[in-house]
Each structure stands twice: as C-alpha cells, then as structure tokens.
C-alpha cells in the first residue's frame, strides 16, 4: 500500500503550531519563526493561485458554447 493511499492524519501542521507554547522562544527565534511562516503563507498562496488558474482554464475548455 502506498503512503498516498493512507487516510490523512487528523489536524494539520498549522493547527499544531497554533497550540504550541511560545514562551520558551527568544525574540530572535520568534522573528525567525515569523519569517518562516510568512514564506510558507506565500508558498501556499502561490499554489492556490496556480490551482485556481488551472481550474479556470479547465472550466473554460469544457464550458459549452452559448452557456
């Protein structure tokens, strides 16, 4: 069985991060964390935009003329 065939685990990395205690982190560590999270947000938005463009192109291709 492929790993892709297994069910996705409940919860995701973002929800786990949101529950983490930030008190032990220094200000520099928090700044680094913010930079990493901002980079991840940009990556997710880019992927979302590409997926939307792909979906729009597919919709336009398969849309019946006159509809």
| pLDDT tens digits, 41-54 | 999 999 999 999 99
Average pLDDT over residues 11-37: 94
Report the distance separating Cα 1 and Cα 15, nearest Å.
28
Structural domain including 36 reads 25-61
If one counts the domains in the chain, the total is 1
**Does residue 31 form part of some domain?**
yes
Instruction: Please report the pLDDT score of residue 42 as a whole number.
Output: 98
**Does residue 46 form part of some domain?**
yes
- pLDDT above 70 coverage of the chain, percent: 84
**Does residue 29 form part of some domain?**
yes
- pLDDT above 90 coverage of the chain, percent: 61
Instruction: Please report the pLDDT score of residue 7 as a whole number.
Output: 74
Closest by CA position to 58, among listed 50, 44, 66: 50
H helices within 1-67, ranges in order?
Answer: 13-19, 27-62
**Does residue 57 form part of some domain?**
yes
Tokens 């930030």 belong to 22
């Amino acid at each position: 069985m492929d790993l892709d065939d297994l069910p996705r685990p409940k919860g995701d990395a973002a929800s786990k991060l949101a529950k983490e205690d930030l008190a032990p982190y220094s200000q520099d560590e928090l700044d680094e964390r913010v930079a990493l999270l901002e980079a991840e947000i940009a990556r997710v938005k880019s992927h979302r935009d590409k997926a939307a463009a792909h979906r729009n192109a597919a919709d336009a291709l398969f849309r019946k003329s006159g509809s």
